[in-house]
Amino acid sequence: MGRNLVRLKGFDKLTDVDEAFSIFLSRIKLKRLRAVKIPLKLASERVTAEDVVADHNLPPFDRSAVDGYAIRAQDTFDATQSNSKILKLIQNGRIGKNETGLIWTGNMLPRGADAVIMLEYTKPLQDKIEVRTPVTPGENVSKKGEDVRKGEVAIKAGTRLKSHHIGLLAALGVTNVKVVKKPKVAILSTGNELVEVGHKPRLNQVVDVNRLILSSMCLNIGVKPLDLGIAEDNIEKIKSKIRMGIERADAIITTGGTSVGYADLVPKVINQIGPPGVVVHGIAMRPGMPTALAVIGEKPIFILPGNSVAAMIGFEVFVRPTLLKLLGVRSEPRPVAKAKLTRRVPSALGRQVFLRVCAFERGNEFFAEPVSIKGSGVLTTMTEANGYVIIPKDREGLDKNENVLVHLFDNLRREECV
Amino acid sequence: MGRNLVRLKGFDKLTDVDEAFSIFLSRIKLKRLRAVKIPLKLASERVTAEDVVADHNLPPFDRSAVDGYAIRAQDTFDATQSNSKILKLIQNGRIGKNETGLIWTGNMLPRGADAVIMLEYTKPLQDKIEVRTPVTPGENVSKKGEDVRKGEVAIKAGTRLKSHHIGLLAALGVTNVKVVKKPKVAILSTGNELVEVGHKPRLNQVVDVNRLILSSMCLNIGVKPLDLGIAEDNIEKIKSKIRMGIERADAIITTGGTSVGYADLVPKVINQIGPPGVVVHGIAMRPGMPTALAVIGEKPIFILPGNSVAAMIGFEVFVRPTLLKLLGVRSEPRPVAKAKLTRRVPSALGRQVFLRVCAFERGNEFFAEPVSIKGSGVLTTMTEANGYVIIPKDREGLDKNENVLVHLFDNLRREECV
């Protein structure tokens, strides 16, 4: 209990969440990191650094979309169930009037033909086939350039590469792709009371779970965590760790040492290291009120509260969007669900509240069950929840049955939440 | 074009999607794979193999949730703005009547105290503090076992470990966790026409993108792909590759060689290898009609069409849920969005259609824009889409403005789809 008490009163002024983030963004030039070229087979979930332009048409020529017979559609216009049309089967070359050739899916349409009739709709008769249904021009043909035209942007810069994008790039003959370098984020926990995960805490000690949680959140968006360990509540120790982070990483996250009782230890250290330093401290949000945002040189620094749920919400609201900018991702909102709130929830007027909810589906409708708010440090409010609802700061609460937008960080449940 | 044409007519009978999957599941005992113990820091996105039971309370004792002063709540009941209450500050030991002690977030509540008043609501007066607001018993205290009680299941078996689960496990002192072994899935492409990604296809050749796409889809759910390469349309060559897959992997996926024109090459080979062999062939779906499901011994085999979009849909509908069973995942549905269809879409009566759509938000409403259906092999119908809508087989189409459920495989767009 031997901390310095420099300032014991609360924050003089709390800054609104959106305003806080705007102030922070106005004080830093967030540039997308540089591009690296990697093999396509390793590019799943990476973010493209440039537009990928098709250097040829896809398909490269008119090709059959089915197994069947290449034909001139007009030869079948008068075919009906009762009035079949006979076409002569040829092995090679141009398809002439009333001629046809066997063709497989993906094969080039022979000259003369403008459509393909599926095998299933024909009857083979030695060197002829019988057709009883008309075919329209272009039917079952994938036209040259139909998928992607030469010169067209096939995949835009800033795309997180999913399986389907990988497939399209492969089809275009791309084997290496320019993606954005993974940002490196240094993660530091501060506090005399902290012990490493796996160490049995003595009385007044607490297991430091924040580095593990934040590392996992970084990995989930394709960012490399760099572990700075635990620093005691000591200005020089914190300073040397943060300096190391600034040298080696693209962004820094700290937890702890930010609330007024801790004498603003981390914000103070940051202001000593270099300008502009802390640009916002004290945010009108719950949880997360003691959060601070800082910049040193060109490096963003997120000073999150020590309590884990507040740190997670701080990551979600400030860190994640910043890291996505470093990654150059065009847009990557959380999945959302519109749901009915199962019960009334009081809120903190003047604070934007991040209400943890468990969203589930019942009888074709979505519901959001508030996870009982005990302490904000209670980890089970995150594990029992699968998303959060933002309660605006001018609301005293949300009503039962009110329609809310749930931002999902885990799967929507198909069965009721307990 | 030299393939054997054994059977040129279509499938005699198509099996409904749900029925097909039920038949398949009834022919195989899908057991969750064995457990492996791994360090918690590597466990992100892995699936727990057993319930994790708390071996102690969390918090282990009543602790303060804020920085403040530990008090007996009853001593403050008569405090008001105009009638302040003075409490004596003591350094150690039991809190007696009208006494208080400084306490930090996370610290153990001293004996005698039953609440904490925040620093912000007090005024320090040398060895006393002034309180002008009443505190209720239990206020700002995290009760022993409030987060997790000793003996309680903290994380259920079959949970995909997200950041918040990792945090809770760490807080419980768990350093190693039993997770389900990653299933290994062998992936084979068949077809004389196929060339490797990066090779320039000659006329009538096609780049094999399916292995890369399916590998990426496996990696996304934490499954290890095993590349079996490309097999020509030759019974012995396909057989030796599939045998290798059965030996080395937990499941096998093939693409190509399944439609009637290809003489059912892969299904035929599978039936030669061992029982029960192909259990369903020809499914009432679009795309993906020639899909077959097979079992050899205890190994599931998915015989998907060669066209990439059909293969992706087949993975989504049959492979993904099967692999999740091998992983022992309790439930992992895709995120869904309820949206209004932007235009009328015709459908194929008698087939369950997987309509690719681009879902977006406009003015607080969700819309689903059908991605124009050209060939089912057209990869851009997947890259332009972010989800799919299931059109039941008894519908001739969907109406404009109809409410549909979009299963999202990529981010919902915040701007209109082009």
Q: Flag whether B10 is in a domain.
A: no
Q: Do B107 and A60 touch (CB under 8 A)?
A: no
pLDDT category at B5 given cuts 50, 70, 90 is: very low
Residues A153 and A136 in one domain: no
Q: Which of A127, A154, A180 is the last residue of a domain?
A: A180
User: Is the CB of residue A410 less than 8 Å from the CB of residue A417?
Assistant: no
Residues B186 and B322 in one domain: yes
Sheet containing B184-190: give its strands across: B224-231, B184-190, B251-255, B299-304, B292-296, B276-281
Q: Flag whether B124 is in a domain.
A: yes
The fraction of chain B above a pLDDT of 90, given in percent, is 75
Nearest CA in chain B to A306: B105
Give residue B106's pLDDT. Answer: 79
Q: Give the CA count within 13 Å in the CB-facing half-sphere of B53.
A: 4
Residue that the structure tokens 């302490």 belong to = A375
Give residue B160's pLDDT. Answer: 96
- pLDDT of residue B7 exceeding 50: no
Nearest CA in chain B to A336: B337
Q: Do B209 and A167 touch (CB under 8 A)?
A: yes
Q: Which of B112, B142, B172 is the last residue of a domain?
A: B142
Which of residues A160 and B192 earns the better pLDDT score? A160
First-to-final CA distance of chain B:
39
DSSP B265-280: HHHHHHHHH-SEEEEE
Q: From the CA of B20, how many Å to the nearest CA of chain A?
A: 22
pLDDT category at B9 given cuts 50, 70, 90 is: very low
The fraction of chain A above a pLDDT of 90, given in percent, is 75
pLDDT category at B107 given cuts 50, 70, 90 is: confident
- Tell me which residue in A108, A376, A410 faces B162 most closely, judged by beta carbons: A410
In tens, the pLDDT along B166-188 reads: 999 999 999 999 999 999 999 99
Structure tokens at B409: 């495989």
**CATH code, domain carrying A314:** 3.40.980.10
Residues A254 and A322 in one domain: yes
Q: Flag whether A296 is in a domain.
A: yes
In total, how many domains does chain B have? 4
Q: Which of A326, A358, A376 is the last residue of a domain?
A: A326
Residues A220 and A316 in one domain: yes
User: Is the CB of residue B198 less than 8 Å from the CB of residue B192?
Assistant: no
Domain, as residue range, for B165: 36-54+146-180
- CB within 8 Å of chain B, chain A residues 18-37: none
Give residue B260's pLDDT. Answer: 54
Residues A84 and A198 in one domain: no
Which of residues A6 and B53 earns the better pLDDT score? B53
Residues B305 and B242 in one domain: yes
Q: Flag whether B104 is in a domain.
A: yes
> What's the mean per-residue pLDDT of chain B?
91
- CB within 8 Å of chain B, chain A residues 362-401: 366, 374-380, 382-383
Residues A259 and A383 in one domain: no
Q: What is the mean pLDDT of residues B39-56?
A: 96
Structure tokens at B178: 């039993």
Pairing of strands A285-286, A352-362: parallel
- CA angle, corner B301, sides to B299 and B305, nearest 5? 175
Residue that the structure tokens 């046809």 belong to = A100
Burial A104-117 (b: 16+ CB within 10 A, else e): bbbbbbbebbbbbb
Residues B129 and B83 in one domain: yes
pLDDT category at B375 given cuts 50, 70, 90 is: low
Residues B298 and B227 in one domain: yes
Q: Is A324 helix (H, G, I), strand (E, B) or coil?
A: helix
Q: From the CA of A77, how many Å to the nearest CA of chain B?
A: 22
The lowest-confidence range among B131-135, B238-242, B327-331, B341-345 is: B327-331
Give residue A294's pLDDT. Answer: 98
Q: What is the mean pLDDT of residues B276-288?
A: 95
Instruction: Choose among B257, B259, B258, B253: nearest CA to B212.
Output: B253
Q: Do A331 and B162 touch (CB under 8 A)?
A: no
Q: What is the mean pLDDT of residues B278-290?
A: 93
**CATH code, domain carrying A118:** 2.170.190.11
Give residue A1's pLDDT. Answer: 32
The lowest-confidence range among A84-98, B96-110, B361-375 is: B361-375
Q: Flag whether B413 is in a domain.
A: no
User: Is the CB of residue B71 less than 8 Å from the CB of residue B194?
Assistant: no
B104 and chain A: CB distance < 8 Å anywhere? Answer: yes
Instruction: Choose among B43, B128, B113: nearest CA to B71.
Output: B113
Neighbours of B331 (CB within 10 A): 13
Nearest CA in chain A to B404: A364
Q: Which amino acid is at A113?
A: A
- Tell me which residue in A155, A193, A409 faces B106 most closely, judged by beta carbons: A193
Q: Across A329-338, B1-10, B15-24, which has the greatest mean pLDDT?
A: B15-24
First-to-final CA distance of chain A:
40
DSSP A179-214: EEPPPEEEEEEE-TTEE-TTSPP-TT-EE--HHHHH
Give residue A359's pLDDT. Answer: 95
Q: What are phi and psi of B104, to 5 degrees?
A: -105, 160
- CA angle, corner B257, sides to B253 and B262, nearest 5? 165
Structure tokens at B136: 């209720």
Which of residues B127 and A193 earns the better pLDDT score? B127
Residues A281 and A206 in one domain: yes
Nearest CA in chain A to B145: A378
- Tell me which residue in B105, B203, B336 faces A307 most closely, judged by beta carbons: B105
Residues B194 and B115 in one domain: no
Residues B220 and B301 in one domain: yes
